[in-house]
């Protein structure tokens, strides 16, 4: 167990909080609810960004940048949208400070009051659709496929590093289309991109589904989502893709002339993932020794630790180690050779375990004599002695194995934690004693959904896509239902 890291079984929540700090991922800042993402944490986020950015471009999207500040009046133009975001936004009211007359520092200059207050974007639909109005005239301007990487701010009352912070980093795609079908297809395509990324890069299996009206994005017609399961059985919404219908086009009067020269409102989508994914990544795989990172997103994929006494041994081991490092780097594998002289090997092992480096190679004097190395994998902690010959191929293969193993382990856990229940007693029992996703019948009303949430803290995570249709009765009201939905406690 890493020094000072609580055990998951003792206090999952404390384990997560401490892990984020001890592994140098992020920390709280002096500004309430805003985090500092530290270099090691940011390096993981950069790998996520690069991967996603390529996926967005491969599906025809371009990046752009829209203003941070949004006129207050814009929010009100879409009725649901303003209800969803007005209550938690940072408001800029002045544009200047001045020296306090008593010399105590700076104060807001009352003469520099803005005519209209500006809010720090909580999301950018309003400012982007107000811009699209000028970009779109004809069907030839469509589809418009734009993404933005940006910071956004929602004044959350209870915050947790990565999972819920007042400021967070994200990407937000905003697309405009000539037809409803195209917009729906885009919404679903981006949901697939997110699921692909979560499963094949993060190693996190996800359920693809649609949100109930109650959990829908403020301003959307339909919100699709990917839901992941953490090791404590709680759900984490990892990405959302919204079909906006013509809501924002109508709010901002965005029309196009179609091929028959008829003026129509444009159809829209928006979709986003955020630094919240960092929280999902950490909680899905890590253990009591520290982070477990999937090789595809690990900033350092392999660490080489020399075990030596004196400079002569170090020199001899370094020579071999650097050969291995070079050969691995030639295959685009990132390798750290940890020759810090002031630290013992045991400390280094624990440090790199804490940081989640997937593969560790250790090399001592005896290895040098025997032409061997010790290779340890982070996820299972298996260690084996390997011949130096072929070590590069072994490591390369091992990284692929680890990527697959991490995913399969998370999948096994999830599959064994989806439980069908038939009545409310069973529901409460499973929720309390087992956790995970609960597949249950629900009568389809927001009222029942809210009541279940009040009674149990569980929410409907989603109605899975391609859900099996099945006659049943609502676990709370006994009213008829045609399909099960997934309930869970969620982050």
Q: Which residues bind its own copies (CB under 8 A)?
A: 27, 29-31, 34-39, 42-43, 45-46, 62-76, 82, 86-99, 105-106, 108, 117-120, 127, 130-131, 134, 140, 146, 150-151, 153, 155, 167, 169, 342
CB of 121 to its own copies, least distance (A): 10
State which residue, 154 or 234, has the beta carbon closest to its own copies.
154
Instruction: At 173, list the tokens.
Output: 């795609």
- Long-range contacts of residues 322-326, Cβ cutoff 8 Å, at least 24 apart: 324/361, 324/373, 324/388, 324/391, 324/392
Distances (CA, A) of 438 to 194, 213, 430, 434: 23, 19, 8, 10
CB of 235 to its own copies, least distance (A): 27
State which residue, 133 or 409, has the beta carbon closest to its own copies.
133
CB distance 236 to 469 below 8 Å:
no
Three-state DSSP state, 99: strand
State which residue, 120 or 307, has the beta carbon closest to its own copies.
120
State which residue, 68 or 463, has the beta carbon closest to its own copies.
68
CB of 85 to its own copies, least distance (A): 9
Instruction: At 163, list the tokens.
Output: 């999972």
Distance CA 198, CA 195 (A): 5
CB of 70 to its own copies, least distance (A): 7
CB of 336 to its own copies, least distance (A): 13
One DSSP character per residue, 281-298 reads: HHHHH-BTTB----GGG-
CB of 425 to its own copies, least distance (A): 40
State which residue, 21 or 386, has the beta carbon closest to its own copies.
21
CB distance 485 to 475 below 8 Å:
no
CB of 12 to its own copies, least distance (A): 26
Could you tell me how far CA 47 lies from the centroid of its own chain? 12
State which residue, 47 or 414, has the beta carbon closest to its own copies.
47
φ and ψ of 273, to 5 deg: -135, 155
State which residue, 68 or 327, has the beta carbon closest to its own copies.
68
CB of 333 to its own copies, least distance (A): 17
- Long-range contacts of residues 4-10, Cβ cutoff 8 Å, at least 24 apart: 5/288, 5/289, 5/290, 5/354, 7/288, 8/231, 8/232, 8/287, 8/288
Q: Which residues contact 4 (CB under 8 A, 6 or more apart)?
A: 18, 22
State which residue, 18 or 289, has the beta carbon closest to its own copies.
18
Distances (CA, A) of 168 to 33, 54, 96: 10, 21, 25
């Amino acid at each position: 167990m890493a020094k000072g890291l609580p055990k998951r079984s003792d206090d999952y929540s404390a384990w997560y909080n401490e892990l984020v700090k001890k592994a140098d991922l992020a920390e709280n800042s002096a500004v309430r609810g805003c985090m500092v993402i530290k270099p090691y944490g940011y390096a993981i986020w950069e790998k996520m960004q690069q991967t996603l950015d390529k996926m967005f471009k491969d599906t025809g999207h371009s990046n752009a940048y829209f203003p941070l500040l949004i006129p207050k009046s814009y929010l009100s133009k879409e009725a649901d949208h303003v209800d969803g975001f007005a209550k938690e936004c940072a408001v800029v009211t002045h544009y200047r400070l001045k020296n306090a007359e008593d010399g105590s520092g700076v104060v807001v200059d009352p003469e520099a009051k803005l005519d209209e207050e500006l809010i720090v974007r909580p999301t950018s639909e309003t400012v982007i659709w107000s811009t699209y109005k000028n970009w779109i005239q004809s069907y030839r301007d469509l589809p418009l496929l734009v993404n933005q990487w940006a910071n956004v701010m929602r004044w959350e009352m209870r915050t947790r590093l990565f999972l819920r912070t007042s400021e967070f980093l994200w990407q937000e795609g905003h697309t405009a289309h000539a037809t409803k079908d195209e917009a729906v297809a885009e919404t679903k395509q981006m949901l697939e991109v997110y699921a692909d990324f979560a499963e094949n890069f993060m190693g996190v299996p996800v359920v693809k589904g649609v949100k109930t009206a109650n959990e829908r994005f403020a301003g959307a017609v339909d919100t699709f989502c990917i839901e992941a399961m953490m090791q404590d059985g709680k759900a984490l919404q990892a990405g959302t893709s919204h079909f906006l219908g013509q809501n924002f086009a109508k709010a901002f009067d965005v029309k196009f002339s179609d091929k028959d020269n008829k003026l129509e409102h444009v159809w829209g989508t928006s979709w986003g993932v955020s630094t919240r994914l960092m929280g999902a990544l950490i909680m899905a795989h890590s253990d009591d020794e520290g982070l477990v990172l999937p090789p595809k997103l690990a900033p350092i994929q392999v660490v080489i630790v020399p075990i030596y006494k004196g400079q002569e041994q170090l020199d001899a081991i370094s020579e071999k180690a650097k050969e291995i490092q070079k050969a691995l780097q030639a295959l685009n594998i990132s390798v750290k050779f940890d020759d810090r002289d002031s630290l013992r090997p045991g400390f280094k092992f624990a440090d790199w375990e804490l940081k989640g480096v997937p593969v560790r190679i250790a090399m001592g004097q005896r290895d040098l004599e025997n032409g061997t190395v010790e290779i340890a994998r982070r996820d299972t902690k298996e260690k084996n002695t390997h011949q130096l010959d072929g070590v590069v191929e072994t490591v390369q293969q091992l990284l692929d194995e680890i990527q697959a193993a991490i995913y399969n382990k998370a999948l096994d856990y999830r599959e064994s934690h989806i439980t069908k229940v038939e009545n409310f007693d069973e529901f409460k029992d499973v929720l309390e004693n087992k956790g995970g996703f609960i597949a249950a019948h629900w009568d389809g009303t927001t009222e029942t959904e809210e009541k279940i949430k009040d009674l149990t803290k569980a929410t409907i995570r989603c109605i899975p896509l391609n859900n099996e249709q099945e006659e049943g009765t609502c676990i709370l009201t006994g009213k008829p239902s045609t399909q099960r939905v997934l309930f869970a406690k969620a982050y």
